[in-house]
Structure 1
Amino acid sequence: MRKTLLMMTASLAAMAAPAFAQAVPAEVEAASPEDAEQAGGIGVIVVTAQRRAQNVQDVPIAIAAIGGEGLQEAGVRDPRDLTLLVPSLSMQAGTAATTTSLFIRGVGIGDFNSNTTGAVGVYVDDVFLGANAGKLFNIFDSEGIEVLKGPQGTLYGRNTTAGAIRFSSRKPTNELTMNASLLYGRFDEVHLEAGVGGPIVKDVLKVRVAGLYNRRDGTTLNRVTGNHVNDIDIWAARGIVDFTPSASALLRLSVHGGANRGGARQFQHRGQGIDFFGNPAFLPDGTPLDGLGYADTDDDIYAGDYDIEGQERVDVFGASLTGEFNIGDLTLTSISAYEKVNRSTIEDTDTSPNDIINALYKDRPRQFSQELRLASGTGDRISWIVGGYYFHDKLTTASYYDLLRDLRDPTAPMNGFDPANSIGLLRYPYEQKTTSLAAFGQADIKLTDRLTATLGLRYSTDKIKFDFSSFFDEEGFIVPLVDINDSRRFKDLSWRAALAWQGDNILLYASASKGYNSGGFAGGAATDPLQLQPFGSEKLFAYEAGFKSDLFDRRLRFNASAFYYDYRDLQVFVFDTSATVPVQRKLNAGNARILGFEAEVTAKPVEPLELFVAASILDSEYKDFSGLAGSDFDGNKLVNAPSLALSAGATLTLPVGENGTVRAHVDTSYSSKIYLYPDNLPGNAVGEHAQLNARLAYKPDGKFEIALWGKNLTGTKYLTALFPVITQDQLNYNDPKTYGVQVSFSF
């Protein structure tokens, strides 16, 4: 594999000569008069990844940046869609419509439970979002998205090992602006997004209000009822008020809310080929059955037999107050934020017409965070940022599983309630409180006019209190199982050191950094205290070198990086299937290593045409991982770590008439085979797959636009998640082919 990796690295480097472009142009602006003179070239992308406005080509970090117009053109509506544009970003769908697990460069964890923060930090307007179910409501009226790859331990709120995704909403301006977009598509999808903003008192008080409504009929037929499930029904809104009492002060209040009233995920069914007595159970053609002899045999992943049509009820509210104050050459920033989510999901867990297992997931996370930063000016040889961060989260859950109801004997006492054989209502309520404190600092030191050293440190402490109980419950008859009240404190020192050399059109950089993700407690159903043993913190030591270049009067942009990850005590989420009821486990898997290479090539060979290609190559393996029941996973690939992932496409813009334009965009993505669990079993693998998306737009006057669009035009089908349950597996697949029309305007 390493020889193959080196050969592909050389091949991708040779691709710099042809004309290709970065995934979907990000929001741009001229950074200098020289840039303005090169207006025919690739635009300058401005990011704030290091808490300062910088040209992305001057930042010694691997970043994928996509602007607001680019998000609309690519049909990006939540973090899951970003995986089609950023090859190193992958996802694993959760058990609910509004949850997902994100991975960057093969680093992440596929735990869908409510108390999981994950290895990828998600930020909206610099506010970290902790609740899984609350991360998909804020991605509208967007200025752009930045995907920061690798540990971001020295500058970001909750330290994460994989990286960070930063969403920025559109802010109020001193001029009246308005934009709206109405999309209609297959399955009667309606997606309406609009925003309006402007001055209340010029230069003193500005406001912007934006909203989103998205509904879609179900894409999956329930053959039991004739209804279509996996429908969407979401709304969200945001209001931002900027108060500028003087030239040196800004206060920004942001309030947002939203709700999901759509369907819960309805999965596909796959029997495990075993009955409830441990005997083989197969159809004559070899199709595996579940414990009650059912199999879904039509090979249609958009149809199933469901006795329960699950529903999801999610309500989200949040507010933040940001203050920026200029004190001489210093800038003081304060961000106070509050977020709450109420979630209730009813799920047909067994994905069959039988009543083997169904679930209610109910949780209420509440979080408060406070960040303070003091930053120097950028004119001196040393520029620095220091700060502190406080985060408190309280999560209350009241979830349960209704187990094996079809096996109950209604003539027996308590209607056949039998906890000894896992027949009954298994409740597992718990409360978890997390308190995090951190102090951090980073300095850029100009060793020469072209050579800059970066040094950063962060000390973090996380205290987690966990109060868990589980019991079988039937009409008030209680059989207690587990009762745990425990707490743990985790501490760590993260750091970053980098050197960057800035030439006229090129940046060379090398860095070493350490990231940290705190330990904690598993949040799934448990019938044995051993399942709730705390797991430790994971640490990632990252070593990276790369370059960023703008060539041929900024007609060609070629960025590349190579990295090595020393991944220690990594956290993994697995299922122990040795018992009748699969048991969730979260534990430390020992060590792993990841060797990778990435390249992004962007070009504008002629004025109307932009082309792009981006590639990610990973060679990953567990180095020291003894799995459950003595199994040995050493040498296996990490989960959600494709050996090769690609994104590519083109945009052609042609004038029509005096002021009109026609814009044609097409993009495609590819991923090689990945594994969903550390065992690397063929049945737990996602085969290689590719998708094709396209958009054709006509803009007659620069303000109004009408477009035809299509996503997954080839109708590609692939797994996005797999979870074992009682004698069957639930399989989650991607959305089918969709297409439609979109009308937009702005002024």
Structure 2
Amino acid sequence: MVSSALHRSVIAALAASTCLAALPQVARAQSSEKPADEGIGQIVVTAQRRQQNVQDVPIAITAVSGDQLRESGVRDPRDLTLLVPSLSMQAGTAASTTSLFIRGVGIGDFNSNTTGAVGVYVDDVFLGANAGKLFNVFDSDGIEVLKGPQGTLYGRNTTAGAIRFSSRKPSDTLSGDVSALYGRFDEVRLEGGIGGPIAGDVLKARVSGLYHRNDGTTFNRVTGNRVNNIDLWAARAIVDFTPGPDTLVRLSVHGGRNSGGARQFQHRGQGIDFFGDPAFLPNGTPTDGLGYADTDGDPWAGDYDVEGKERIDVFGASLTGQFTFGGVQLTSITAYEQVNRATLEDTDASPNQVITAYYEDRPRQFSQELRLQSVGENALNWIVGGFYFHDTLKTDSSFDLLRALRDPSAPLGGFDPVNSLGLLRYPYTQKTDSYALFGQADYKLTDELTATLGLRYSHDRIGMKFASLFDALGTVVPRKAYSDVVVPLLDFDRRQSFNDLSWRAALNYKTGDTLLFASFSKGYNSGGFAGGASTDPLQLAPFRSEKLYAWEAGIKTDLLDRHLRFNASAFYYDYRDLQVFIFDLSGPVPVQRKLNAGNARIYGLEAEVTARPVRNLELFTAITVMDSEYKNFAALGGTNYSGNRLVNAPNFAGSAGIRLTVPLANGSEVRANVDGTYTSSIFLFPDNAPSNKVAGYGLLNGRLAWAAPNNRYEIALWGKNLTNKAYVTAIAPVITQDQINYNEPRTYGIQLSAHF
């Protein structure tokens, strides 16, 4: 149950919402231009596959404009947690792998074959590969975060929700945007886009690009170098062909490369040696099995014998056709995406050779979506569609285990697979074929009351061909350094199919500027196979599909002549067979396991308040209050996790801030933004162990800018995490130590922007 202290937090946050500010993302996202004294501008979204005012959309949704992404310093999808309190993340074992959660629904599995509970779309193309999701936040027209199960309108079904990125499209006249940013750690970010007509109204195009680098936010005391650096570029070209008013054919091609550093972690000793005996420094600090401990308390410094590197190459293309005829519109989206990723990682986060990892994966995906829908506002608005998704994922990853304990003068260099001394490789190929039919209809029972019914059938077929072996003489570098002296451990080849029927039923009542809605929906996330290192067929036994039954009711209203906007929703989730990621610590080496918990429940309340009390002043606050519990979860070895809180499910998360605009006599403006977020404590594993608990934390950001008349130029000073708050984003056990992932430290700098 929610504690009395939590109730007090809710009351205080709601009270503050009328007078406190916050991230103004909702009020300005994809907003029409309105003078400030006319109230809060209209927000146009396409969450339901047609353009609507967000206040008329009967679902919980947060929209973020492209300008707000820039002003809030959002660099990639992970930064969206700064803008959407109910969206959280758990960083994985490398900079490219991050698990997203919405309202506590998600899975903290960093392996390459994990689909995740949050669907990520770029221009309506679903992205399956984790690594390919880092290249989307540039030249952006906006982002929509949809909360709750999605499937009756979207290609890929998800239980937690969906994040929809929208790129800037070609314009009717020549226009462009460019920005240059410089910040702490010699950060440089150059971004630009230009577009317009090529052949009148028939052919238009836009090209855009991004370059982003820094020297690294963490100091390596072994080499004196900075690590955790960024070095990436991305580019996109969009061409629109419109031979007539009822036809649009859009070709989009994009690509990019990240060649920066892999994640360098913090080290935390478990206080045991390799024989299971206590291992502590004289001052009581726990060490690892080799007697090492990181004692300086600096989360952005460490002792690393390996400076990790990561290379990700991304390429994708999509062809979209929209054809309107006879009062209906046919949409076809054909897309191809590929990613090549290679990551060398200092897994043990220490100066010793305990574990070094090499991850290599090459996903290739093809998708085809067809939709037929009604056009305009009718008594009956409907959409039907079909979706096909094929993905082939090839990996060849490895762990160099306990090389520090191997005797190089012994036969085969001290190779000893019984005691996990050697190189463990686990190459596998996973093929996925997903088919779906979906549809949704909205029928106006009266002028104010509308009923919605949606249905979806999904079929997923997944094949896993997995091998694991010990390599006596190999090293953790690309495959050419592997040897032929191997001990086969596992040869696994299996296919499994999963089917589901999911739905959405809703009612909404609209009167004046107030919308009331209630819905009941079911979400589905396909079962599959674990993608971590495995040496036992039981570790690869398929896990079942998870299902989420969601009840939700909400209100959206504009008050005081649209100077105050209040949106709120209450939800209850019945979460069944939820997929969980844990570490099996029963052997000498921690083993990754993915399995089904029994049942869980989550309920909560969300509220967003935007206010424009006077001209040129905008205030916003948003809160999410949740209570979560595993109702029935018997884990490995009979351990009972029932009654524990879900992973990454804070009891409270909120954001607040202010935006002040001061007009000057010459038509220019001074703009000041201050915003902050607070997240209460969370657990990173289902066991809810104190060592895996992240204490509550708050972040403070700010921006001060001068804008020329008509917003043609802008110069801004910005700062993120101004209080230099450190908090843990992920923990993973590594034999006799834990690797700890922290957030980014305080950053600040200057940004120049121009629009023409």
TM-score (normalised: structure 2) = 0.97
Q: 2:555 aligns with which of 533, 542, 547?
A: 547
Pairwise mapping of residues 478-557 of structure 1 onto structure 2 (< 5 A)?
478-557=486-565
Whether the 8 Å CA contact 2:575–2:599 is kept in 1: the answer is yes
Task: Give the Cα–Cα distance (whole angstroms) in 2 for the partners of residues 16 and 360 of structure 1.
Answer: 48
CA contact (8 A) 1:329 1:376 kept: yes
Give the number of aligned pairs: 743
Structure 2 match to 1:708: 717
Q: 2:295 aligns with which of 291, 297, 308?
A: 297
Letter in 2 for 1:477: V
1:30-41 alignment to 2 at 5 Å?
30=32, 40-41=38-39
Q: Shift of residue 410 of structure 1?
A: 1.6
Are positions 1:602 and 2:610 aligned together?
Answer: yes
Aligned to 1:207: 205
Match of 2:420 among 419, 422, 434: 422
Q: CA deviation at 1:14?
A: 4.9
Q: Using the alignment, how far apart are the partners of 1:192 and 1:38 within structure 2?
A: 31
| 1:27 aligned to which of 13, 26, 29 | 29
Check conservation: 2:34, 2:41, Cα contact below 8 A: no
CA deviations on 1:232-282 (whole Å, 9 max, x unpaired) are: 001000000000011110000000000001000000000111111111111
Q: Residue 18 of structure 2 contacts residue 611 of structure 2 at CA under 8 Å; is this kept in 1?
A: no
Partner of 1:653: 661
| Partner Cα separation in structure 2 for residue 13 and residue 298 of structure 1 | 41
Distance 1:75 1:592 in 2: 35
Q: Distance in 2 between matches of 1:470 and 1:441?
A: 43
Q: 2:286 maps to what in 1? A: 288
Q: Is the 8 A contact 2:461 2:497 kept in 1?
A: yes
Change beyond 3 A, Cα 1:2–1:306:
closer
Distance 1:8 1:558 in 2: 18
**Contact kept? 1:27, 1:143, Cα under 8 Å:** no
TM-superposed CA distance for 1:377, in Å, is 2.1
Q: Distance in 1 between matches of 2:556 and 2:22?
A: 13
Separation (CA, whole Å) in 1 of partners of 2:257 and 2:21: 40
**C-alpha contact 2:108 2:581 (8 A) present in aligned 1:** yes
Query: 1:631-690: CA deviations, max 9, x gaps?
Result: 110110000000000000000001112210000001000000000000001110111000
- Counterpart CA distance in 2 for 1:410 and 1:379 is 75
**1:723 maps onto 2:721 in alignment:** no
* Structure 1 CA distance for aligned equivalents of residues 83 and 359 of structure 2: 32
Aligned positions of 1:635-650 closer than 5 A: 635-650=643-658
1:230 corresponds to: 228
CA drift of 1:36 comes to 6.3
Displacement of 1:94 in angstroms is 1.3
- Match for residue 743 of structure 1? 752
Residue by residue over 1:408-449, the C-alpha shift from the partner in whole angstroms, topping out at 9 and shown as x without a partner, is 112211110111111111000000000000000000000000
Aligned amino acid, residue 92 of structure 2: G
Report the AA paired with residue 681 of structure 1: A
Provide the secondary structure at the position in 1 that maps to 2:131.
helix
Shift of 1:37: 8.9
Query: What do residues 121-168 of structure 1 show as CA deviations (whole Å, max 9, x unaligned)?
Result: 000000000001001112110000000000012111110100000000
Cα offset, 1:10, TM superposition? 5.4
Residue of structure 1 in register with 2:142 after alignment: 144
Match among 445, 453, 456 for residue 455 of structure 1: 453
**Residues 113-132 of structure 1: matches in 2 within 5 Å?**
113-132=111-130
Contact 1:194 1:211 survives alignment (8 Å):
yes
Q: Secondary structure at the match of 1:187?
A: helix
Task: For 1:674-693, list aligned pairs within 5 A.
Answer: 674-693=682-701
Which residue matches 2:394?
Answer: 396
* 1:310 corresponds to: 308
TM-aligned CA deviation for residue 20 of structure 1: 4.9
State the alpha-carbon separation in 1 of the partners of residues 40 and 636 from structure 2: 52
Partners in 1 of 2:450 and 2:102 — Cα distance? 27
- For residue 68 of structure 2, give the secondary structure of its aligned residue in structure 1: helix
Q: Do 2:24 and 2:659's aligned partners in 1 also have CA atoms closer than 8 Å? A: no
Q: Does the residue aligned with 1:605 lie in a helix, a strand or coil? A: coil
SS of the residue 1:135 aligns to:
helix
Structure 1 residue 380, shift from structure 2 partner = 2.2
CA displacement at 1:315 relative to structure 2: 0.1
Give yes or no for contact 1:16–1:558 (8 Å, CA) kept in 2. Answer: no
CA drift at 1:452: 0.2
Q: Distance in 1 between matches of 2:14 and 2:383?
A: 35
Contact 1:20 1:604 in 2 (8 A): no
CA contact (8 A) 1:9 1:597 kept: no
Q: Which residue of 2 aligns with 1:263?
A: 261
Deviates more, 1:414-423 or 1:472-481: 472-481
8 Å Cα contact 1:348-1:358 kept in structure 2: yes
| Aligned position for 2:586 | 578
Question: 1:219 aligns to what?
Answer: 217
Secondary structure of the residue aligned to 2:587 is coil
Aligned to 1:477: 485
Query: Which amino acid in the other structure matches residue 692 of structure 2?
Result: N
User: Quick one: distance in 2 between partners of 1:742 and 1:645?
Assistant: 29
Distance between the aligned counterparts of 2:34 and 2:311, measured in 1? Answer: 49
Query: Match for 1:362 among 360, 363, 372?
Result: 360
Paired residues of 1:338 and 1:367 also in contact (CA < 8 A):
yes
SS of alignment partner, residue 665 of structure 1: strand
Aligned-residue offset at 1:29:
4.3
**Partners of 1:658 and 1:221 in 2: how far apart?**
46
How far did residue 202 of structure 1 move? 1.1
Matches within 5 A, 1:36-115: 40-115=38-113
1:26: Cα distance to partner?
Answer: 3.0
Counterpart pick for 2:438 among 440, 465, 477:
440
Question: Residues 236, 38 of structure 1: CA spacing in aligned structure 2 closer, same or farther, 3 A cutoff?
Answer: closer
| Amino acid in the other structure paired with 1:682 | P
Q: Provide closer, same or farther for how the CA distance between residues 296 and 391 of structure 1 changes in structure 2, counting only shifts above 3 A.
A: same
SS at match of 1:259: strand
Unmatched runs of 5 consecutive residues or more in structure 2: 473-482
Which one-letter code corresponds to 1:451 in the other structure? L
Distance 1:318 1:677 in 2: 35
CA shift, 1:15, in A, is 5.2
For 1:145 and 1:399, locate their aligned partners in 2 and report how far apart those are by CA, in whole Å.
34
User: What is the SS of the residue equivalent to 2:292?
Assistant: coil
- Alpha-carbon distance between aligned partners in 2 of 1:90 and 1:448, rounded to the nearest angstrom: 39
The alpha-carbon deviation at position 22 of structure 1 amounts to 6.0
Amino acid aligned to 2:550: A
For residue 222 of structure 1, what is the amino acid of its counterpart?
N
